[in-house]
Structure formats: C-alpha cells, structure tokens
Chain A
Amino acid sequence: RKEVEQDPGPFNVPEGATVAFNCTYSNSASQSFFWYRQDCRKEPKLLMSVYSSGNEDGRFTAQLNRASQYISLLIRDSKLSDSATYLCVVNIQTGANNLFFGTGTRLTVIP
C-alpha cells in the first residue's frame, strides 16, 4: 500500500539548475497537500502548502492536479542550501488533519 509515492532520487544537480519533483497520491478524497523539507538528522519543516490553482514562493512553485492525483514541486536557480530531502505530504482521512508523509526525494545541489 502506497498512499503517497515519490521518486526517492537522489537528484544531483548543479547550482543554478531547475529541478522538479513529482508525487502521486492514492486517495481521491484527500483535501490538503504540502511539501516539507527535511535536512539530514533534523525534523521535517513545512516548505509550502499546495493549492489547486498552483502557488509560488520565491524560487519554489507547487502544483496540484486533482484529476491525476499528482503533486509537483519546481525549484528554480538551485542553491547549495536547497540540498535536503523533500517530502510530499497529503491528508488521507476525510475530515481529519492526519497527514501521510511520502518517503521523500533526496536532492543534492553540487557547486
């Protein structure tokens, strides 16, 4: 059973590159979607929520396709500090805020 599926990577990209991560989720009734960032041996931290209309926060753009049950994260002009694991997160219980975390996609930005 895979509620949320992500390509584990690793993605190794040069500084300044654009990189995209994708994620699919299984529950068509899911209502909220997020991308979290987790640094090595640290706790996950909220990067951004994902809205149906798509949303942008600086160099980061998130998109949601409900019909295909697909979420994406685009990082433009990658920085060394973007190196981390990116977790796709979806609520799976209708009416409750229980979040299911994907296993993550590892990104390394190379100088």
Chain B
Amino acid sequence: DTGVSQDPRHKITKRGQNVTFRCDPISEHNRLYWYRQTLGQGPEFLTYFQNEAQLEKSRLLSDRFSAERPKGSFSTLEIQRTEQGDSAMYLCASSLGAENEQYFGPGTRLTVT
C-alpha cells in the first residue's frame, strides 16, 4: 500500500467558487479524519468517519463545508462559496481503530483569491 493520498495537491480558486478535495486512505483503515492547518499553527480537527458514518464535526466546520465517505472508502470534502479565510492546508489521515496511529496524506493547499 502506498499510504494516504490526496488530490489535488494545490488548488487556487476565486472567492465564491465551490471546491472539492479527495482523500484515499490506507485500504484497510476504517477511520478517516480531516484536519485544517493554517500558517504557523498545528492542524485542527474538522471531522471524522468510522467506515461510512460521519461521527463528529468540529464547530470549525461551518454550513459551507460538507464531507462524505461513500462505501467507507475514499472521502471528499467540499467547500461551497469559498472565502479568503478558507485558505489553508487541508490534511487527511486514516487509522485502523480509534486508538491506533494516524497516518497523514500530503495535504491539499487551498488558496482563495
């Protein structure tokens, strides 16, 4: 297995546009997490899935954000009506079980102009 992958690696969009990111976890991992990281800060938890069920969403995740994990495999994170404050690195991680090590993908760098 090649690890967690994310696509695209970079996205530049204009304010008000919608964007969608994809994450492919390590194949046998049942847990998938999304984090957001702004410059000079550590990643902050956004949401996570156990298999296909989205179990928790952070208050950081406004109504403009939605995440899915159909069939418990890959996940998508969509941001509608992007704002400049959405500019950040979006990181995906996966793990086998809640208490085990989380493996991170390379991230998607979003720039909203």
Asked if A pairs with B, the answer is: no
Binding site for B on A (CB under 8 A): none
